[in-house]
């Protein structure tokens, strides 16, 4: 789940934008966090116009099903 996404436009003379992402997982004990973050960083870095990507796994605020948007609940058949 994405908590924050920021795109810093390229400054004059730079190749592309810097993208920063803060994401979380459904369970703090999930050992896949670093793998998922690394894969997300690689995919974002491959996008046109992106020079650098930073993906961080964060745990605050803790994720819970109450954080699912109404649109997300509808897509998941929870609404």
| 15 DSSP β-pair partners | none
Round to whole Å and give the CA distance between 71 and 33. Answer: 25
Q: What is the pLDDT of residue 65?
A: 86
The two three-digit tokens of residue 64, written as one number = 């819970």
* Secondary structure element (H or E) that encloses residue 73, with its range: helix 70-75
CATH number at residue 25: 3.30.300.130
Report the predicted TM-score, pTM, of the whole model to 2 decimal places. Answer: 0.81
Rounded average pLDDT over 1-11: 93
- What's the pLDDT band for 9 if we cut at 50, 70, 90? very high
How many domains does the chain divide into? 1
* Residue ranges with strand state E in the chain: 2-8, 17-23, 50-57
Each residue of 30-78: pLDDT tens digit?
889 999 999 999 999 999 999 999 999 999 988 888 888 899 899 999 8
Q: What is the pLDDT of residue 66?
A: 87
Q: Which domain holds residue 19?
A: 2-75
For residues 56 and 22, is the Cβ–Cβ distance under 8 A?
yes
Q: Give me the sheet containing 2-8, strands edge to edge.
A: 2-8, 17-23, 50-57
């Amino acid at each position: 789940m994405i908590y924050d996404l920021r795109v810093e436009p390229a400054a004059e003379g730079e190749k592309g934008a810097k993208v920063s992402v803060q994401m979380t997982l459904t369970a703090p004990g999930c050992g896949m966090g670093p793998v998922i973050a690394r894969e997300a960083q690689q995919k974002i870095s491959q996008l046109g116009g992106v020079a650098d990507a930073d993906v961080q796994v964060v745990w605050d605020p803790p994720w819970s099903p109450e954080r699912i948007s109404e649109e997300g609940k509808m897509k998941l058949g929870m609404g």
